[in-house]
Amino acid sequence: MKRILGTFILVIALCLISACEQPKHSSTLERILDNGVLKVGTNYGLTTYYHGATGPEGFEYELAEGFADYLGVRLEIFPYYTLNELFPQLSSHHLDLIAAGISVTQERESKFRFGPAYQSVSQKIVFKQGNVRPRSAVDLTEKMMVIAGSSHAETLRNFKEFHQHLEWQETDEKDAEELMEMVLNDELAYTIVDSNILALLRRRHPDLSIGFTINAEQGVAWALDQTQDDSLLAALIEYFGLIQKDGRLAALEDKYFGHVRQFNYVDTREFIRSARTKLDEYRPWFEQYAEDIDWRLLAAMSYQESHWDPKAKSPTGVRGMMMLTLATAKEMGVKSRLDPEQSIRGGSQYFEKLVKRIPARIQEPDRIWFALAAYNIGLGHLEDARVLTEKQGGNPDMWIDVKQRLPQLRQKKYYKTTRYGYARGDEAVTYVDNIRRYYDTLVWLDGQDADTLDEAEDAAQTVAD
């Protein structure tokens, strides 16, 4: 018996020694921290990742950059053109995660793990304004195309069980905007678009109309490899919990989507028409006097103020392209508010002055949104709203918090406690949102013009050669 016990103890000891000699496998998170790099896959797109004037931009990019900073590592972005290229990179362990506005669907959950949902989107059937509106899946009888590997294709496969007539094509050669342009050009009858992307693109293409919601709201989350341990997922949960609590997630969402939640078809059509027919006359002055401000933002302000009408006049007495008061015009050295060049110069200089008076600790782009609100209702009323925000537990340096309190300046129980009293703060919120929408559209239109010019120059060079 003693011999058997001794043999057993020896076996246990040998096993323990063997276990100690085996290499210890580090977790996914430890590997990322040791390497000092977070590898994130995404796709090119308006809401995901693209190269802007000052470098990489995009809602998903900024979220990923924030997560890398949270971990204390360097971010490496790997952008792909199609979802069918992107997902295999995760399965083959070339990426740590995918941040690409991915909707969490039943089919995808069977293949990947997902972090916490940080947005909700619904899927919309879109068609061209003026064509017959499809009101249900029964009406989808004409040509339709969706992106291959997308949640939209999965939705259609699910609908096919109940609507055998459904036919569609899947493509890797087009993105969401190109499919919508095909709808506008009558090359397609319909496509499917996520609600957040549609909200942005209708500012460029107002003739896109919604037929019906083909899939209700789904969560949007980052995808992780199904075989990895829980360490990276745990870090994601902590990160998203933190930025939700401190307001950074809400501020980032407001930066990209907050100003496009409301859509006005007539206003958008009229703005694009005016930009193409009236803006060229005044553009040289916007460019000349914008200085450190993007001239397109100044032009968007002017459209909101006067619809680019040099003789515009409001009941309160403000006049001209930039709707200057007499006092402001005098301060800026404007002798005639009806002279478009003088008005643009004066408005630009006054706005620049407001930007400089916003507290230095307030970061971009909130600093610009605050200055726009001040241009509309004055710095005093803006400061009142910031004080109310702080008293109510919000962050007075974040636009998303302050814009919730600006409408309170119309309510006696709030404005009687402020220094400057009553103000139409809700109008200031609308004012800023409108300018942001006009600005986005001008940036897109300006890019379109540049592309057209490049194509013309290339064609001319080809002929010359």
Which has more confidence, 346 or 256? 346
Residue 25: predicted pLDDT: 54
Per-residue pLDDT band for 51 (boundaries 50, 70, 90) equals confident
The residue type at 271: F
Which long-range contacts link 423-430 to residues 24+ away (Cβ below 8 Å)? 423/377, 423/378, 423/381, 423/384, 424/377, 425/377, 425/381, 425/385, 427/376, 427/377, 428/373, 428/376, 428/377, 428/381, 428/382, 429/373, 429/403
Please check whether residue 50 lies inside any domain of the structure.
no
Q: How many domains does the chain have?
A: 1
Structure tokens at 119: 């947005």
Q: Residue 381, Cα to own-chain centre: how many angstroms?
A: 28
Please check whether residue 198 lies inside any domain of the structure.
no
Residue 200: predicted pLDDT: 87
Residue 204: predicted pLDDT: 86
Please check whether residue 299 lies inside any domain of the structure.
yes
Question: What rounded mean pLDDT belongs to the chain?
Answer: 89
Q: Please say if the pLDDT value at position 465 is more than 80.
A: no
CATH classification of the domain holding 405: 1.10.530.10
Please check whether residue 404 lies inside any domain of the structure.
yes
- How is the chain split among helix, strand and coil, in percent rounded to 5? 55, 15, 30
Q: Please say if the pLDDT value at position 3 is more than 70.
A: no
Mean pLDDT of 153-169: 93
Place of tokens 């930007």: 355
Please check whether residue 433 lies inside any domain of the structure.
yes
Tens of pLDDT along 262-318? 778 888 899 999 999 999 999 999 999 998 899 999 999 999 999 999 999 987 789
Tens of pLDDT along 31-44? 999 999 999 999 98
How buried is residue 191: exposed, middle or buried, by Cβ count under 10 Å (0-12/13-18/19+)? buried
Q: What is the DSSP letter of 256?
A: I
The predicted model scores a pTM of: 0.77
Residue 326: predicted pLDDT: 93
Please check whether residue 461 lies inside any domain of the structure.
no
Per-residue pLDDT band for 23 (boundaries 50, 70, 90) equals very low
Tens of pLDDT along 404-462? 999 999 999 999 999 999 999 999 999 999 999 999 999 999 877 555 434 434 433 44
Tens of pLDDT along 356-391? 999 999 999 999 999 999 999 999 999 999 999 999
Please check whether residue 21 lies inside any domain of the structure.
no
Tens of pLDDT along 57-89? 899 999 999 999 999 999 999 999 888 899 999
CA 246/CA 401 separation, integer angstroms = 11
Which residues form the domain of 435?
A: 266-439
Bridge-partner residues for 213, per DSSP?
Answer: 124
Residue 263: predicted pLDDT: 78
DSSP E strand boundaries for 129-274: 145-147, 169-171, 191-194, 208-225
Tens of pLDDT along 217-259? 999 999 999 999 999 999 999 999 999 999 899 989 988 888 8
Residue 101: predicted pLDDT: 93
CA 204/CA 207 separation, integer angstroms = 9
Please check whether residue 399 lies inside any domain of the structure.
yes
Residue 203: predicted pLDDT: 85
State the catalytic residues. Answer: 305
